[in-house]
Amino acid sequence: MRRRWRQVEEDDVVGFVDDSSTLVKQLIEGDWNCDVILIIGMGGLGKTTIARKIYNNVHVKSHFKCRAWVYVSQDFRTKELLLNILKKIEISDWRTVEELKEKLFECLLRKTYLIVMDDIWKTKVWDEVRSTFPTNLNGSRILITSRIREVASHASLTSPYFLPFLNKDEGWELLSKKVFRGGAYPPELETMGRKIADDCRGLPLSIVVLGGLLANKEKTPGTWSKLIGNVNWYLTETNTICKDILALS
């Protein structure tokens, strides 16, 4: 279910233009110390989406000689986390945790690296792995996403980036993208569509899930008018999968 949630969350990108530009600049042009950059926000706001957008940015790719992306989650295990990072840089030996830490440190030493640790829930994760990342004084970075504010203050003295909700125009843009697959839409549906998007309170995950449901329904004023003021009920009562995905948020 978490995998499905991440796929839903990353499916469409709306907004984040200024956000991603700011964070890319911070990654590339920041202090030469090994800086820890954090993206904080409630579940479903798009932390993974913006982190993935940054990770795949052409300037970021060319700047960092070594990159690795790992998904942490609530059920993290130190050995699996270290192995996943090592596999991304083409080393997959099975070792003890201490041997893995030593090997990873050696691999990253003197390299310009970017490590993304997505969805950290506990400060313990950083305590387990922080010594693994060498301070190369070459602009290497660690990017962490989390919904827990304490993770930010524990991992870095740098102020975290708090991800905002979508504004009304961005909410409607995302909903129309999902419902009409990026194509034209009947003008008479826009007013109702904006009201429906507003009921999602700027939470991208809710808009994406709702848009996926509406894409398969009749696109008429009569159908859409029934949702105005009833979006929350529609999402949580009419579809078990949607309810489960939103419950993770």
Q: What is the DSSP letter of 189?
A: G
168-247 is classed in which CATH architecture?
Answer: Orthogonal Bundle (1.10)
The more confident residue out of 14 and 61 is 61
Q: Domain limits of the chain? A: 2-162, 168-247
* pTM for the model: 0.79
Indicate the pairing of strand 141-146 with strand 35-40: parallel
Q: What is the mean pLDDT of residues 75-84?
A: 86
Indicate if 168-247 has the same CATH topology as 2-162. no
Nearest to 44 by CA among 116, 119, 110: 119
What is the sign, positive or negative, of the torsion defined by CA atoms of 51, 57, 63, 66?
A: positive
pLDDT above 90: residue 4: no
Q: Which pLDDT belongs to residue 237?
A: 66
Q: What is the CATH number of domain 2-162?
A: 3.40.50.300
pLDDT tens profile 111-150: 899 999 999 999 999 999 999 999 888 889 999 999 998 9
Exposed / middle / buried, residue 136 (Cβ in 10 Å: 0-12, 13-18, 19+): middle
pLDDT above 60: residue 161: yes
Of all residues in the chain, the percent with pLDDT exceeding 70 is 85
pLDDT tens profile 193-226: 999 999 888 888 888 888 888 888 888 888 888 8
pLDDT tens profile 53-77: 899 999 999 999 899 999 998 888 8
3-state secondary structure of 67: strand
